[in-house]
Chains A and B, each alone.
Chain A
Amino acid sequence: AQKITQTQPGMFVQEKEAVTLDCTYDTSDQSYGLFWYKQPSSGEMIFLIYQGSYDEQNATEGRYSLNFQKARKSANLVISASQLGDSAMYFCAMREASIGTSYGKLTFGQGTILTVHP
């Protein structure tokens, strides 16, 4: 079974500084996908970034980058130049491989609440 662990219930960062949100995972699959989602207080889930298990390069999307260390089974999210609007809950998730046309389900970590201070 897959497992995602986020060990930081809460993180604080000063505006304009960078912050790293930790995520470790456990799986016996060779092929898998790792995702980060942002959930503001309004509740919607916003997709941020994706990393495939066979991707050699770390994924980047604007101010978001994923520090993927496969041997350590970690997929930390780095947010550069934090903004007040980055305050939200962040979830790391892993997707199982698809079976036929069925879309593999996501396993979520516990989440990290990020607070950006002015």
Chain B
Amino acid sequence: GAVVSQHPSWVICKSGTSVKIECRSLDFQATTMFWYRQFPKQSLMLMATSNEGSKATYEQGVEKDKFLINHASLTLSTLTVTSAHPEDSSFYICSAGTGGGYQPQHFGDGTRLSIL
């Protein structure tokens, strides 16, 4: 089946550091990638949608300058948390979809980000 690889799986860093998270579709071309944020025992909150070669579409309330998204190719999207602070600590998970119809999104395994 379709595989999405997310890296790193765990990050601990100091406040003020910028952190980059990669999301790769390994065996298919992802026309659209999504980035979610999830707090413990809560639902996934969509942060932004990115289409290859286009600027990302951010959900209301998500700071574009804080969470930089790049979707430079059909197999790679990156999320950069700039100048991270403790309140940015969370579980970030990406997903990828391709084509029309109602094929399921394929999720990465997520990144646990802890800012000290």
A-side interface residues toward B, CB under 8 Å? 33, 35, 37, 42-45, 47, 50, 52, 89, 91, 95, 98, 101-106, 108-111, 113
- Number of residue pairs A-B, CB distance < 8 angstroms: 66
Nearest 4 interchain pairs by C-beta? A103-B97, A33-B102, A103-B32, A45-B107
Q: Is the CB of B95 within 8 A of A113?
A: no
Please determine whether A95 and B112 come into contact, CB atoms closer than 8 angstroms: no
CB nearest to B36 among chain A residues: A108
Chain B residue nearest in CB terms to A46: B107
Rounded to whole Å, the gap between the CB of A38 and the closest CB of chain B is 11
Chain A residues, Cβ within 8 Å of B49: 102, 105
16 examples of A-B residue contacts, CB within 8 angstroms: A43-B93, A43-B110, A44-B108, A44-B110, A45-B93, A45-B107, A91-B44, A101-B99, A103-B97, A106-B34, A106-B95, A106-B105, A108-B43, A110-B42, A111-B41, A111-B43
Cα(A47)–Cα(B90), bound, Å: 22
Partner of A44, one of B34, B41, B44, B107: B107
Residues of B within 8 A of A111 (CB): 41-43
**Most chain A CB within a 10 A radius of its CB, from B32, B44, B46, B107:** B44
